[in-house]
Each structure stands twice: as structure tokens, then as C-alpha cells.
Amino acid sequence: MRRQLHVFLGLTAVWLGLLTGAGCRESRPQGTLVVTEVPPQAGFQTSTNDWDRLYPTGSRIVLLFPPFRTGPVRVLSESLVAAGGPIVSPDGQKVFFAGRSTITSDWQIYEGFPGGGRPQARTAMPGGAISPALLPDGGLVFVSPAVGIRGTNSGKQASALYVQPLSGTPQRLTFSSRNVADPEMMADGRILFVASPQPADGVPGSGTGLFTINNDGTEVTAFARPAPAGSVIERPRLLPGGRIAIVVAAAGAASPEGAAESIRLAQPFHAGSPLFPDAPARIRSVASTANGDLLLCARVPANPRSTLALYRVPPGQTTPDAPLLADPTWDIAEAVELAAHRRPMGRLSSVDPTKHTGQILCLDANYLANRNEAAPPKLATVRVRILAEFAPGTTRALGVVAVQTDGSFMAEVPAEVPLGFEALDEQDRVVGRQAPMLWLRPGENRSCIGCHEPPNRSPHNQRPLAVNVPVPRFDLPVGGVATGKAER
């Protein structure tokens, strides 16, 4: 009886420990930071992989406790040869980042433990996984393969967004010919990300741009005006006051640093404004803290021989004070606060996995053509094309669909395939083109105004004529011949 009592009391103590989190959570000082440290002057090394350049061998993720001083730190990426891009879970208890276990291994997403211990791999993607973000339910969002915006992957699959549920296999979200990078969860549950210029297909690239997408891959939408010619947008991060911070850097620069700008959520297509107009800084990253301060990693003054230092900038201040931490032995590339923050909203999925097609409704195909001409050509049809990745050698036409007198057309098209469009006049001449960069998820019904309409334009409040005629269906080519019939 006494033995049974001891066993019962022992089990009770174990369960109480689990329920209260005893031994699982460490008491940490307020203001504790998760920081990426990079060997100084490592150089933006020649590589087809952006992350090999950003985080060369020796880069690590560490935990820093206030007051911040150089010296021994707690390494969260212990046993990895390189690591970078840390994020913190909404409850402030988990840290995720990308890392490499060996010099020749692919980048993968790891979970690091603030209380200590070896990091655990959470992905095993062929070609690697980088740029982690977290869905409201704890699922992982990441980019694969590990190419990046500046990287090259000629002849290979473009980098894409993936979601990996808490229990399940990774699911691809984007199917464009663009490379994607730097996902960031927005408060309303959408995923904000960067996309590279359009590939050459008779249409000049317009620079990197910011896009949003639902967590099931539906409703991909241009979010802000693209970067100026010759520059790239990197590392978008949510800021207090309805703003997003971005780093704008030169596309061909030998350094991943640039100028920090903020974009207003209420007016994303307006020009961004400098975050630190009075600071001659070369900025690597910006992040916000729980009280609204900004964590800035930069070279101030802009001296290429100095190391990247960490600054804490109060709200409204346009130039940093003395650095919070500067270490001559490390570049401090990124810093995020190890603290609880607002959890994004969840979103229901409209994807129907039993289907293999989706429907697209264009309200005015004239926006595919040059509307600036004195006498714009009258459109007759729109040709639907697919990307060379799915039809080797070139883009290939699936068929044509009639344009109604109000400019609208509607078609059922294959899902999860990059789609492009060509506007044709009554003589079957191409008068406008959209490169293959749009896709639909299974069962998705999507509408657009016309691909090249002005930003923030609203459609007319009228029923499009295309919904009154039979909807043509276009299937993937079989033996090189596309099937489908267009109706007027």
C-alpha cells in the first residue's frame, strides 16, 4: 500500500510539472533578443544561392540577455555550420530559423530552444528550405528551393512558397515563373512576400515587387508598387502604426545592405518614405519590438570596414543613437525580440482537392492591350498560354476564348499551372500580353479587372456579359495538342 502511494504521488508530481510547465520554460529578462551573428567581412560570396551569401559558414543564431555586452552567448544554432533568418512564435516561446548541418547540405528550417539543447530540423525539402514564417495555427511557411531573389536557377524550378501543417506533408502555394522570398505574416492572416521580375517573354521585367496570398495559395495579389529599376526589395516586416518596413538595395551590389523605407498599409501603391532620413546608414534589417521601438542592424556611419551594429530606435526618431551592441568580431545582421506578440487571424480555405481546374473571370481584357493609343484596337479573343516548365521548349497555347462586347471573358483552366494571356484583335494580331505568372488552385474561382489596370482601381458595378455564355474549358496538352473550345 505504501509503495502504491509513493508511485501515485510520483506520477502526480510529474503531471503537475507538465501542467505548470515546470522545467520547460526558463525565466528570461524582459528585452531578451534572438540575434544573427555573421563573420565580418565575409563578403557577398559568388553563389547561385542567396542564403549562402547572406549567411556564410560560421553564421549563427544566439540569445542575448540585457544588459547587452560582447562575450559568451547562448548559441541556439549549435551543431550547424551556418544559420540565419530567425523568427519567434506568437507566444514568445519558440524560435525558428534556417540552417545547414554541413557545408554541402541543403538549407532546412530548424527549431531552436531558448532553454538550451541542439536544434531540431523541421523540414527535409529537396533543394532546401529558407525564410520561415508561422501560420496562426503553428504551421510553417517557407521558401523552397533555397534560391532567393538575387540568386539564379536557370532551367530549374522557380523558388515557391510552401506550407507545412503541424502534422502533414508540405504543400506548395505558388506556381509562378517568378522566384519568391521573405514571407511575412500579416495581421489579417494573409502572407506578404517578395517576388522577382517577370521572366523574359516579350514583356520587360518590372523589378521585384510585394505580393499577398492566402494561406491556401488563393488570391495572389500585387500589394505595392515594384522596386525602382536596378534595385530589389528585401525583408518586409510589419511595424506599428499600420506600416511595413522594407530594405531597398541595389540589384547588382556586392553587399546585401541598403536603405530602409516604410510603406503604409492604407496606401501601399504610393511611394515609400525613408525610415531613417537623417542617418547615413547601410541597413541590413529592421524589426519592431513589443513597445514599438525598432531594432536596426546597420553600419552607422556608413563605413564598409565597420561591423554591422545593433541599434534600438524609439518611435518617431529618425536617426539612431549609440549602438545597443557593437562587436568587432561579428556583424550583427538581424535581431528579433524574444517576446509574445499579436497572433495573426486565421483564414478558411476555399481549395477543393477533388478538382483539377479553377475558373477565371476577367472583367475587361482591354487592360491587356495598350489603352494609351489614340484608337485602341478592338479585341476579339484572348489566347491562354502555359509556361515552358509544363510544356518544355516554350510557352504553349491552350486555346482562345471570345471577348464579350463589354471586354469580359471567362474560362475554366488547369489548376496549379502558370498561366499567361495574349489579347488578339479582329485580325488575330497580338496587341497585349501578360507573361505566365498567374495560377489558380483547385476549385478556385478568381476574378480580375485585366492584369494591367491602374493600382487600386475598382471594377464597374455591373454584371459582366461573360457570365451569360457557356464557359470554355481548357485542359493541359495531351501529345502536344491542347483541348478546349471557345464560345462567343
Q: What is the pLDDT of residues 268-300, one digit of tens each?
A: 888 889 998 887 778 999 999 999 999 999 987
The residue among 146 and 390 whose pLDDT is bigger is 146
Residue pair 87/95 in contact (Cβ under 8 Å)? The answer is yes
What average pLDDT score do residues 164-184 get? Answer: 90
pLDDT of 366 above 50: yes
Chain centroid to CA 247: 14
pLDDT digits (tens, 9 = 90+) for 117-128: 899 999 999 999
Residues of each domain in the chain carrying CATH 2.120.10.30:
33-337
Average pLDDT, the chain: 82
What average pLDDT score do residues 100-120 get? Answer: 94
Q: What are 218's three cell numbers?
A: 488563393
The whole-number pLDDT of residue 16 equals: 40
The residue among 47 and 93 whose pLDDT is bigger is 93
The whole-number pLDDT of residue 157 equals: 72
pLDDT of 375 above 80: no
Report the range of poorest mean pLDDT among 29-43, 105-119, 188-202: 188-202
Residue pair 283/295 in contact (Cβ under 8 Å)? The answer is no
The whole-number pLDDT of residue 254 equals: 66
What average pLDDT score do residues 168-180 get? Answer: 89
Q: Best-predicted range by mean pLDDT among 63-77, 183-197, 359-373?
A: 183-197
The whole-number pLDDT of residue 42 equals: 54
Nearest-angstrom CA–CA distance, 44 and 47: 9
Quote the percentage of the chain above a pLDDT of 70: 80
Residues of each domain in the chain carrying CATH 2.60.40:
357-483
The whole-number pLDDT of residue 229 equals: 78
**How does residue 392 score in pLDDT terms, banded at 50, 70 and 90?**
very low
The whole-number pLDDT of residue 10 equals: 47
What average pLDDT score do residues 51-75 get? Answer: 89
Does pTM top 0.95 for this prediction? no
CA distances from 417 to 177, 188, 442, 444 (A): 10, 27, 10, 13
The whole-number pLDDT of residue 367 equals: 76
pLDDT digits (tens, 9 = 90+) for 451-482: 666 666 666 778 989 899 999 999 887 554 44
Would you call the peptide bond into 67 cis, given omega within 30 degrees of 0 as the criterion? yes
CA distances from 355 to 368, 412, 443 (A): 28, 12, 6
Q: Has domain 357-483 been given CATH number 2.60.40?
A: yes
The residue among 411 and 23 whose pLDDT is bigger is 411
The whole-number pLDDT of residue 249 equals: 86
**Superfamily name and number for 33-337:** TolB, C-terminal domain (2.120.10.30)
The whole-number pLDDT of residue 440 equals: 92
The residue among 42 and 438 whose pLDDT is bigger is 438
The whole-number pLDDT of residue 120 equals: 96
**How does residue 36 score in pLDDT terms, banded at 50, 70 and 90?**
very high
For the chain, the straight-line distance linking the first and the last C-alpha, in angstroms and rounded, comes to: 87
